Chains A and B, each alone.
Chain A
Amino acid sequence: MNDARLEALTERLLRAGVAPRHARRAVQELRAHHADVVAELRAAGIPPAQSEALAAERVGPDEAFVRDMLARPELRSWASRRPFVAFTLLPLLAFIALSALCVGSLIAVLEAARHWRAWLSPALIEGARGLGAALFVAAMWLAPLAAAAVACLLAARQRIAARWVIAGVFLVGLLRAMINGSFDVPTSLHGSVSMGIGWAPHRLPETAVRAAILIAPVLLPYLWWLRSHRVLTVRPRH
């Protein structure tokens, strides 16, 4: 069994919605099985070419293997059965959750530093302020980028139809673009951190640029990957 055939087999299973861990492992097992049958026949004194032919007959056609894998719904991935939830809604929720976590951590760090400031050295206070600023950047930029990038990676891994994840990335980008925030905490630790969501027609260009800054670095590599793997097609129904 050559690599191209095994790769094609894995690709067929993934595109049909079989969970990657089942698809990849089953194909690897099939390859090992074929090699074992060939070795068994060779050990019995059968010539190499004949051993290969007999092994192929005993192992059976790829079609039967694919048909049997697809006939078992328990082998399908949850995400392939609910792509809208997994790749459109979940990235949005993940972004909100990650941002909330960063903001919560930021508040905790600054409050703790303010509470214990009498016992902290100036360097530690500056460190706490720096950590707060980093958490603010993470909430505003890293959280949406991470949520969108992970969605693209998982969708690529599972060969999910691109429309769901593209919609998810756009939603994350738009939501992020509508969030305004500021971090204004001096070393006295008595400042303000603000975050709000809103949209106004006169700020449309600014919102669009902000959305594009977030969407482009995630979506362009994903679209390039789709193009290079020729998966910009609608998944066939089974």
Chain B
Amino acid sequence: MAAQTPSFMAGVPELLVLRLLARREMYGYELARLIRLVTREAISLGENVLYPALHSLEARGLLHARRRTVGGRSRVYYGITGAGRRRLRDLTRQWQRISGGVATALAGTGP
């Protein structure tokens, strides 16, 4: 089982959700499966807390939601908005800076 996500990882679920939805529209279950897959279960996202996160991103205008019927089942598909793409760029830059700093510290190549 994956370890619980520590607090300094706050913001990572948002980054992951925006990154994955930037590729294509998805519904919650599909997204949860993909998060497990792409992070190789390294990040434990309680699957039920994915929905508050999706609704929050939608309320902030970073995602849009629309109901679609696929295979006879009605699903709510989420997609990224223009504001969401801008937020994704900012978060990606921040994360790259942090991960780069941590990598440097761990390698011991800093001052």
Interface residues of A (CB under 8 A from B): 22, 25-26, 29-30, 32-33, 36-37, 58-62, 64-65, 68-69, 71-72, 74-75
Contacts and interface: CB of A to CB of B under 8 A. Distances in A.
A32 B76 CA distance: 10
B49 interface: yes
A33 B32 contact: yes
Interface residues of chain B: helix, strand, loop or mixed (majority): helix
Given A22-B55, A26-B52, A75-B59, 20 more contacts: A26-B55, A29-B27, A29-B76, A32-B27, A32-B28, A32-B73, A32-B75, A33-B28, A33-B47, A37-B29, A59-B46, A59-B47, A59-B48, A60-B48, A61-B48, A64-B48, A68-B52, A69-B55, A74-B59, A75-B55
Contacts of A26: 51-52, 55
Contact of B52 (A36, A37, A65): A65
A32 B59 CA distance: 21
Contacts of B29: 32-33, 36-37
Interface string B50-69: 01110110011000010000
A58 B49 contact: no
Nearest to B73: A32
A65 B56 contact: no
Given A32-B29, A32-B75, A33-B29, A60 B59 contact: no
Contacts of A74: 56, 59-60
Chain A CB within 10 A, most for which of B32, B51, B53: B51
16 contacts: A25-B76, A26-B51, A26-B52, A29-B51, A30-B48, A33-B29, A33-B32, A36-B29, A60-B46, A65-B48, A65-B51, A65-B52, A68-B48, A69-B55, A75-B56, A75-B59
Contacts of A36: 29
Contacts of A30: 48, 51
Interface string B12-52: 00000000000000011100100000000000001111011
A76 B29 CA distance: 24
A23 to B, nearest CB: 9
A62 B73 CA distance: 24
B109 to A, nearest CB: 39
A224 B31 CA distance: 43
Given A32-B73, A75-B56, A58 B28 contact: no
A33 B73 contact: no
Nearest to B60: A74
A208 B40 CA distance: 71
Given A32-B29, A36-B29, A37-B29, A58 B55 contact: no
Nearest to B75: A32
A211 B55 CA distance: 43
